[in-house]
């Protein structure tokens, strides 16, 4: 059994500095050696580190591409993958890998820590041990191992800013895996999308600006899919449709999702061609939108991707 560890940075491998915690080379490597010497992990492993290591607040689609390239390079030689990552954008990366990696034959397990390994009482050691176990035993697909839970990579979200049990994932009946006969990597291109939330008295001109300057919009709606009925928002969404800028509508609620057409206050979303995001997380919606924009330049095909359940990102 051989595991490929892909270390990107994040809190798990940080040390305290004068300006706050920052990534440092060697922290995760030393802990892995300690765990192996202590017999707490038994699988052989190889490790590749990002250069430079990053705070996940600075993560970008180019980093998703780098991770996917490492997985592709080691896919035949290794039995599973552990990706160490900062928690702030871990859910975005997990979703991005779920969409960008088709035909995985091995489990890819993301993990990290809420408290650095260099601090007493860190949760990093447990998460590393559990991630190794998941990489050895889980089904092929993209998973998140955190605080004793193995979570769906395209359904996970960070739900707490400080507790060790920081991640949740809503139930779904489809594994975080995209079908293909062999591994195929769809890289993320130089595309742009914006996440915009409706709010009482909002200035719809901001949505119009997004339609003008972005290639896609994730629109966070009230409840089950309602938005302010002001004329400005209608014009902004009509402008997006005219420019073939896809608008993926999601709920601001953490649970339940949206269902366009339930309320008349959401009718303009259907009238202007917004795509029903159902109960997809905002993290997965953003990653899926960038995936669709990167995969094809055809507006019809982009919409088809966004309307298709690719890897269990929404419940049935």
Q: In which band, very low, low, confident or very high, does the pLDDT at 46 lie, cut at 50, 70 and 90?
A: very high
The answer to whether 177 touches 214, Cβ cutoff 8 Å, is: no
Q: Is the pLDDT of residue 54 over 80?
A: yes
Query: What pLDDT sits at residue 238?
Result: 95
d(CA 22, CA 159): 23
The answer to whether 85 touches 54, Cβ cutoff 8 Å, is: no
Per-residue model confidence as pLDDT tens digits over 97-151 = 999 999 999 999 999 999 999 999 999 999 999 999 999 999 999 999 999 999 9
Q: How many CA atoms lie less than 13 Å away from 214 in the CB half-sphere?
A: 24
Q: In which band, very low, low, confident or very high, does the pLDDT at 309 lie, cut at 50, 70 and 90?
A: very high
Per-residue model confidence as pLDDT tens digits over 230-275 = 778 999 999 999 999 999 999 999 999 998 878 887 899 999 999 9
**Beta strands per DSSP E along 101-178:** 101-102, 107-111, 141-146, 149-152, 156-158, 167-169
List residues bridging with 214 in a β-sheet: none
To which H or E segment does residue 19 belong?
none
Domain coordinates of the chain in residue numbers? Answer: 2-185, 194-307
DSSP 215-256: S-EEEEEBTTTB----HHHHHHHHHHHHTT--EEEEESSSSS
Closest by CA position to 94, among listed 25, 150, 47: 150
Fold of the domain spanning 194-307: Rossmann fold (3.40.50)
* 2-185 and 194-307: identical CATH topology: yes
Of how many residues is the chain composed? 316
- Identify the burial level of 179 via C-beta atoms within 10 angstroms of its C-beta, where 0-12 means exposed, 13-18 middle and 19 or more buried: exposed
Two structure tokens written together for 84: 């160490």
Q: Note the pTM of the prediction, 2 decimals.
A: 0.96
CATH dotted code for 2-185 = 3.40.50.1170
pLDDT mean over 33-47:
96
Two structure tokens written together for 179: 């079908």
Query: What pLDDT sits at residue 262?
Result: 81
**Beta strands per DSSP E along the chain:** 2-9, 14-17, 20-23, 44-54, 80-84, 101-102, 107-111, 141-146, 149-152, 156-158, 167-169, 184-185, 194-197, 217-221, 247-251, 275-276
């Amino acid at each position: 059994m051989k595991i490929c560890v892909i270390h990107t940075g994040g809190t798990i491998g940080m040390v305290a500095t004068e300006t706050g915690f920052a990534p440092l080379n060697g922290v995760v490597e030393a802990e892995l050696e300690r765990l192996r010497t202590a017999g707490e992990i038994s699988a052989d492993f190889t490790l590749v580190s990002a250069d430079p290591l990053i705070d996940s607040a600075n993560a970008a689609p180019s980093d998703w591409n780098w991770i996917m390239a490492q997985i592709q390079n080691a896919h035949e030689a290794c039995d599973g993958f552990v990706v160490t990552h900062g928690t702030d954008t871990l859910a975005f990366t997990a979703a991005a890998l779920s969409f960008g990696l088709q035909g995985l034959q091995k489990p890819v397990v993301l993990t990290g820590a809420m408290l650095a390994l260099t601090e007493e009482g860190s949760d990093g050691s447990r998460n590393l041990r559990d991630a190794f176990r998941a990489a050895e035993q889980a089904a092929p697909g993209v998973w998140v191992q955190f605080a004793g839970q193995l979570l769906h990579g395209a359904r996970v979200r960070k739900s707490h800013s400080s507790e060790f049990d920081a991640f949740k994932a809503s139930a779904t009946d489809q594994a975080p895996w995209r079908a293909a006969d062999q591994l195929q990597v769809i890289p993320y291109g130089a595309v742009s999308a914006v996440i915009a939330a409706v709010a009482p008295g909002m200035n719809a001109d901001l949505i119009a600006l997004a339609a003008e300057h972005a290639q896609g919009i994730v629109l966070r709606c009230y409840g089950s899919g309602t938005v302010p009925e002001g004329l400005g928002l209608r014009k902004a969404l009509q402008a997006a449709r005219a420019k073939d800028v896809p608008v993926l509508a999601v709920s601001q609620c953490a649970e339940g999702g949206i269902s366009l057409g339930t309320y008349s206050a959401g009718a303009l979303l259907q009238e202007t061609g917004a795509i029903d995001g159902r109960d997809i997380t905002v993290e997965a919606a953003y990653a899926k939108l960038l995936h669709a924009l990167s995969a094809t330049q055809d507006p019809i095909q982009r919409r088809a991707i966004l309307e298709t359940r690719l890897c269990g990102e929404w419940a049935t």
